[in-house]
Amino acid sequence: MVISVEDARHEARRRVPRWLFDYVDGGAGAEHSLGRNLSALAGIGFLPSVLSGAGTADTGTTLFGIAHRFPVALAPVGMAGMLAPGGEIAAAMAAARAGISMCVSHFALASIEDIAAAVDPAGLMFQLYIFRDRAMTRDMVGRAWAAGVRTLVVTVDTPVTPLRLRDARNGFRSATRLSGRLAGQCLLRPRWLHGTLRRPDRIIRNLEPYGMGQTLFAQAAAIGRAIDPAIGWDDIAALRDLWKGRLILKGILRPDDTARAVSAGLDGVILSNHGGRQLDGAVSPVETLAACRDAAGSGLDICVDGGFRHGTDVVKALALGAQGVLIGRPWAYGLATGGMSGVGDILTLFHTGIQTGMILLGTPDIADLRARGRDHLHIDP
């Protein structure tokens, strides 16, 4: 068993091809936001209360209407199925076993139907990108509902994909519509990579019905063109009309956008800079969390992601006003390292880390942790 996310990261680097490790591990541009996510959390200090008399901590809570044994969910990670056979299904089963939810990526290799058949779909969320082709988008939403999913997460920070230097150097899917010349030069170029991505078992099943290519190679090239770069609040209003379950926006960083999510009738937001993979230089979500919480009032569930590697990081986010945390790379490293049990090990680390952190902080349960909030923290000016 791995004893830290960092150990799992090192093990993943040893086990999977370089281009695949870099796809998971890397970020956009100079990777400033990627590093900022980690340093922002490291810069927050606790002010523990001693002699609280609790001796134990109850980590149970509800995130986006789903009961959780601890306040962590698996973030959507596109093409995670490349990391281990049956990848996303293994991850969903590990999440279910740990008593938490998984947000399934639109670009999972396994279809939402197959994942929902393997676990109780009440414990799943589905992450959606809005495609230029709205009929295709609506069809995907209908499939998620029919599969039993009741929480829809719409990612809004991905109008284009910026240059991700590691992917570009490795010749893997770095290109966007905007960098057309670059696209021609480095999109999926090396012959060996073509071979890997042409394997018939490697395909984004969710996209299969829509004629977006019969290999992952073709799909990866089509994705960038398919996502609508010009979505607006009217598209969110249309989804609000269409989706009868909980509707969540992912990729918010500003307090005014958070307030707008409230007036648009959303049930929650996930504050995120996409793990430092989109706008390089964007602040870390934990830096704007308190302001976004204040802007939202009490009617909106707020979760946060980016750079969470320890249970104590999660405790910090809750003290700042988040209901919960999503983790992306940590579960991907776990999957690459040991499949379902590798993801399970990572979740155990988070669960025990949160529990021990809460006991050491002197807070008996999630309600107390959130109620006393920033009183638990020392934040460097």
- Binding residues for FMN, by number, are 76-78, 105, 127, 155, 250, 272, 305-309, 328-329
Quote the least distance from Cβ 290 to ligand FNR, whole Å. Answer: 19
* CA separation, residue 71 to residues 354, 358, 373 (Å): 9, 12, 15
Minimum CB distance to ligand FNR, residue 68 (Å): 17
**Which single residue is written with the structure tokens 């991907």?**
332
From the annotation, which residues make up the binding site? 23, 76-78, 105, 127, 129, 155, 164, 250, 272, 274, 277, 305-309, 328-329
Q: What is the dihedral of CA 206, 211, 214, 217, to 10 degrees?
A: -80
Q: Which residue in the set 300, 327, 349, 361 belongs to the binding site for ligand FNR (CB under 6 A)? A: 327
Minimum distance of ligand FNR from residue 186's CB (angstroms): 18
Q: Using the minimum distance from each CB to ligand FNR, give the nearer residue, 25 or 58.
A: 25
Q: Which is nearer to ligand FNR, 245 or 364 (CB)?
A: 245
Count other C-beta atoms under 10 Å from residue 60's C-beta.
12
Query: Does residue 105 touch ligand FNR according to CB under 6 A?
Result: yes
- Among the residue ranges 161-169, 184-192, 231-239, 267-275, the one whose residues contact ligand FNR (CB under 6 A): 267-275
Contact between 278 and ligand FNR (CB under 6 A)?
A: no
Residue 9 interacting with ligand FNR (CB under 6 A): no
Q: In terms of Cα–Cα distance, which of 317, 324, 319, 251 is closest to 283? A: 251
Which one, of 82, 35, 20, 43, lies nearest residue 273 by Cα?
35
Half-sphere exposure of 69 (CA within 13 A, CB side): 12
Question: Catalytic: which of 68, 106, 274, 351?
Answer: 274
Q: What minimum distance in Å lies between the beta carbon of 71 and ligand FNR?
A: 14
User: For ligand FNR, which residue of 127, 151, 176, 179 counts as binding (CB under 6 A)?
Assistant: 127
Sign of CA pseudo-dihedral 311, 314, 320, 321: negative
Cα three-residue angle 54-59-62, rounded to 5 degrees: 135
Residue 274 in the binding site for ligand FNR (CB under 6 A):
yes
Among 81, 268, 328, 357, contact with ligand FNR (rule: CB under 6 A): 328
Q: Kindly identify the residues of this chain, within the stretch 16-55, that bind ligand FNR according to CB under 6 A.
A: 23-24, 37
Task: Map the footprint of ligand FNR across residues 168-227, applying CB under 6 A.
Answer: none
Radius of gyration of the chain (CA): 20
Tell me if 288 contacts ligand FNR by CB under 6 A.
Answer: no
Among 68, 150, 246, 250, binds ligand FNR (CB under 6 A): 250
Q: Which is nearer to ligand FNR, 12 or 369 (CB)?
A: 12
How many CA atoms lie within 13 Å of 117's alpha carbon, on the beta-carbon side? 6
Among 2, 57, 66, 77, binds ligand FNR (CB under 6 A): 77
Residue 155 as a binder of ligand FNR (CB under 6 A): the answer is: yes
The helix-helix angle for 311-319 and 285-296 (nearest 10°) equals 30
b/e per residue, 33-52, with b = 16+ CB within 10 A? bbebbbebbeebebeeeeee
Select the residue interacting with ligand FNR from 123, 162, 306, 357 (CB under 6 A). Answer: 306
Q: What is the SS3 assignment for 378?
A: strand
Instruction: Give just the sign of the alpha carbon dihedral 184, 187, 193, 199.
Output: negative
The first and second tokens of residue 327, run together, are 């983790």
Give the residue, chosen from 71, 76, 87, 342, that forms a contact with ligand FNR under the rule CB under 6 A.
Answer: 76
Nearer to ligand FNR, 150 or 166 (CB): 166
List, in sequence order, the alpha helices (H) in 243-277. 255-263
Residues 350-369 that bind ligand FNR (CB under 6 A): none
Catalytic residue flag (residue 68): no
How does DSSP assign 93-128, residue by residue? HHHHHHT--EEE-TT-SS-HHHHHHHS-GGGEEEEE
User: Which positions are catalytic?
Assistant: 274
Residues that bind ligand FNR (CB under 6 A): 23-24, 37, 75-78, 105, 107, 127, 155, 250, 272, 274-275, 277, 305-308, 327-329
